[in-house]
Amino acid sequence: MATRALVNAKVLVEEDFRDDLAVLLDDAGEIAALLPATQAHTQAGEVHDLGGGWLLPGFIDAQVNGGGGVLFNNDTSVAAIAAIGRAHRRFGTTGFLPTLISDDAGVMARAVAATRAAIAAGVPGVLGVHLEGPYLAPARKGTHDATRFRVPDAAETAMATSLDNGVTLITLAPEQVPLDTIRAMVARGAIVVAGHTAGSYEEIRAGLDAGLRGFTHLFNAMSPLQGREPGAVGAALEDRASWCGVIVDGVHVHPASLRVALAAKPRGKLFLVTDAMPMVGAEDPSFALYGEVITAVDGVVRNAAGALAGSALDMATAVRNCVELIGLPLQEAARMASTYPAEFLGLGDRLGRIAPGCRADLVLLDDALQVRSTWIAGAREDVA
């Protein structure tokens, strides 16, 4: 018998919502079954009424630089990863990749080691690590420190791909890195994507042929689509196999451009990321990066040079923005925050869906699409 049944919710299953289901959770933190709600009391030891809310798969964020006042670059520890996870959980994120902005090899090694230890310790939500740089293009550096950019040698490639108990995501500029290095990273199990790139269409296409799986924050910090030079954006929109992360905060990308991307890419190939900085889940709107104090003004994060420096976005707001700014139905916005990133990360067999056998990572929204509760591996936490 399942230990708990969740009832009286609009449950996102497959293509649409169902309001007549009970979601049964077992002691192992997995979804045991989906049954008619009328059977809940006979099939579970406890029945929890969810008050008619929207029950979605938990959100998965592949690009989280910080949260709760912590920036991963400044604190590469298990405690820091846990603090970032706690901050984002309040906004429905039940799985995330702590993301390291371009830094020295020693910092990278500590970030990988901390991620390995956090996963081994069972820190809720952590799925792996995202190394965003330092193998990037100076012309598209954004807020990254170009003095730290370099081409990895064999030893550094091995270090960057050494996480053995979680996902490794590496953002690089394919025109800056030998194609054989990209192939080596992929062969070692890393997911490699293009970002902060000034590459031509042909250079991006060569990277895709070498194993790139997608693109980091589509449209931002990459060569644009033009009539005679498709650039990285053109390559991304044309390629049907690759995935693209998008920052839907109303600042990084115009809603019309997002609608163009949705029309161009096969369904399921665009997914939401936050590119969040430490102010998410914290009262202080400022943080330090590379010794510079950066402050969010009216929710927009820029460095002193005026470049966007990540975001103050959370995943629940990104989902709402997909509905309100782009006009997507809630079920598709939710899949962009859960199902599609899970598939991109190679975790779609156990995350990103409300289905038997999947881990019980869930988020409950009210009618205003505000987060009320989350579950990670069946453990519930309510938002005050």
- Under DSSP, is residue 279 helix (H, G, I), strand (E, B) or coil? coil
Alpha-carbon distance 205 to 208, whole Å?
Answer: 5
CB 48 within 8 A of CB 364: no
Sign of the CA dihedral with 358 first, then 167, 139, and 275 last? positive
For residue 177, how many other CB atoms are within 10 A of its CB?
Answer: 21
Alpha-carbon distance 336 to 262, whole Å?
Answer: 11
Alpha-carbon distance 218 to 203, whole Å?
Answer: 17
Alpha-carbon distance 373 to 90, whole Å?
Answer: 8
Residues 6+ apart with CB under 8 A from 301: 277, 279, 294, 295, 308, 309, 310, 311, 312
Alpha-carbon distance 328 to 88, whole Å?
Answer: 23
Catalytic one of 75, 145, 249, 275: 275
Q: Enter the tokens of residue 195.
A: 């970002």
Listing DSSP states for 214-273 in one string gives: EESSTTTTBPPP-SS--HHHHHHHH-SS-EEEE--SSSSS-HHHHHHHHHHSPTTSEEE-
Asked if 361 is an active-site residue, the reply is: no
Cα 137 from chain centre: 22
Q: Catalytic amino acids? A: 275
